[in-house]
Structure 1
Amino acid sequence: MSQPGFAVSFVAGGVAGASVDLILFPLDTIKTRLQSPQGFKKAGGFRGIYAGVPSTAIGSFPNAAVFFLTYEYVKWFLHTASSSCWMPTQHMLAASAGEVVACLIRVPSEVVKQRAQVSASSRTFQIFSNILHEEGIQGLYRGYKSTVLREIPFSLVQFPLWEYLKALWSWRQDHAVDSWQSAVCGAFAGGFAAVITTPLDVAKTRIMLAKAGSSTAGGKVLSALQGVWRSQGPTGLFAGVLPRAASISLGGFIFLGAYEQAHSMLSRVHRKSR
């Protein structure tokens, strides 16, 4: 892939990420409140389901743009023949690298967003200011490790499965998949990955919502999971699994389909302008 190709991936990824995050924001709010330690009703129930949306609006484009830029670059850097048995490993490494870099942008946005979602009466900027005042920059990155530990396993499942399903579908019809077909593959891959990584998502939510100075705020994923297990049992580890799976499955459809469509359109525009 040439350098202009990386620019196309950057813009296409940003457009896709912003689209899916804003469209599915209410489902994300419901999922966060289901996972909140104070319970769904006390966290706001169905009220103010767009609380925290400014944080998402600001962070979505650069987060997804950086992810796909890194993902496509690492795939290019590790390029092997399409028939190689190492192709899934290439996709796994590319997705993992993309998540590590993207989380530098995603985590501060996620911390502010989730605290706004369980405290709908507080404004997003007020929450952002309070975090900086009480915890400093470090507070904005609380849960970075748990987010990476959630996103990497998720991507290790989602992206190789997405690429495999696209390749299989392409082979069956003897031509490259269309953007809507890529979207269908993305929906299945995302929903499957969402279900099996829900416990890690619960741990990440608890760490981000914990009060400063508490044991959970220390950011240890295993401790957070043990706390959930002791207080709620195995069902607590899968709190919010249905809205999470639904939103990510639908999100995978929109996100990866929109990425393919935007990438195709931008590539055609670039070729015509040369």
Structure 2
Amino acid sequence: MEKETGYNINFAQALVAGGIAGTSVDVILYPLDTIKTRLQSKSGFYSSGGFRGIYSGLTSVIIGSAPGASAFFVTYEYFKKSLGTLFPDTKYSSLIHMTAASSVPNHTHRKYVEPWEAAICGSFAGGITAGVTTPLDVIKTRLMLSTKDQNIHNYSGITNTFYRILTQEGAYEKVKKTLYKHEIFA
């Protein structure tokens, strides 16, 4: 009798299960990340909020976490199923799981992808991921370090924090102030 090695789930099931799993992990670990961030703050742990509001900024993490985890698990299930068809012997199951978990989303009709093609696809996917998640991570960090005792750095909610970073602290403002301060191109 052959042992059942996993469930044969469809796209929607992998999408929902991945989103729930990723979000659950982030919700559970979020307070530890907040405490770690506050311990690393230049103004000190208690000045940055101490143990108060350790879930501040969680919404921005959930917005980024659920889609990312869903995409990972959909890709994982797809490659696991495809590799399982190519290598049906159970002695390959560990290799199949490891390969599926480390696969880059690179859907192609070819049986072989050149290493340089995988590298380009991985770089492209990583760039997109960083572009989407970095702003959310900045918002999360600002909300983690925000306290009601600070008038200047008190952020309230994702929209408020995003708007303030964009209008008051964005790259344009930083470059403009630096050029003006150092009289560059004056």
Q: What TM-score does the superposition give when structure 2 sets the normalisation length?
A: 0.56
Deviation for aligned residue 1:37: 4.0
Quick one: distance in 1 between partners of 2:136 and 2:103?
Answer: 23
Aligned length: 137
C-alpha offsets along residues 15-35 of structure 1, whole Å, 9 cap, x if unaligned?
222233234432221122123
**8 Å contact kept, 1:63–1:105:** no
Deviation for aligned residue 1:12: 0.7
Structure 1 or 2: more helix by fraction: 1
**8 Å contact kept, 1:17–1:60:** yes
**8 Å contact kept, 1:10–1:65:** yes
C-alpha offsets along residues 217-250 of structure 1, whole Å, 9 cap, x if unaligned?
xxxxxxxxxxxxxxxxxxxxxxxxxxxxxxxxxx
Quick one: distance in 2 between partners of 1:15 and 1:89?
Answer: 22
Cα RMSD for the two superposed structures: 3.6
- The answer to whether residue 165 in structure 2 is matched with residue 131 in structure 1 is yes
Matched letter for residue 21 of structure 1: D
Quick one: distance in 2 between partners of 1:41 and 1:54?
Answer: 23
Deviation for aligned residue 1:60: 2.9
Deviation for aligned residue 1:89: 4.7
Q: 1:22 aligns with which of 27, 32, 38?
A: 27
- The answer to whether residue 68 in structure 2 is matched with residue 68 in structure 1 is no
C-alpha offsets along residues 29-77 of structure 1, whole Å, 9 cap, x if unaligned?
1122123344323322222222212212433322321221222233344
What pairs with 1:115-194 in structure 2 (closer than 5 Å)? 115-120=142-147, 121-124=154-157, 125-133=159-167, 134-135=169-170
Deviation for aligned residue 1:7: 1.8
Distance 1:74 1:105, change over 3 A: farther
Q: 2:16 aligns with which of 4, 7, 11?
A: 11
Quick one: distance in 1 between partners of 2:28 and 2:61?
Answer: 11
Q: Structure 1 unaligned runs (5+)?
A: 140-211, 214-274
Q: Which residue of 2 aligns with 1:47?
A: 52
Matched letter for residue 47 of structure 2: K
Q: 1:108 aligns with which of 135, 138, 141?
A: 135
What pairs with 1:208-247 in structure 2 (closer than 5 Å)? none
Q: 2:103 aligns with which of 94, 98, 103?
A: 94
Q: Which residue of 1 aligns with 2:178?
A: none
**8 Å contact kept, 2:57–2:143:** yes
- The answer to whether residue 67 in structure 2 is matched with residue 58 in structure 1 is no
> Residue 83 of structure 1: SS of its match in structure 2?
helix
Q: 1:83 aligns with which of 91, 105, 117?
A: 91
Quick one: distance in 2 between partners of 1:44 and 1:56?
Answer: 19
> Residue 54 of structure 2: SS of its match in structure 1?
coil
Quick one: distance in 2 between partners of 1:6 and 1:86?
Answer: 22
Distance 1:87 1:39, change over 3 A: farther
Q: Between the two proteins, what is the percent identity of the paired residues?
A: 42
- The answer to whether residue 29 in structure 2 is matched with residue 31 in structure 1 is no
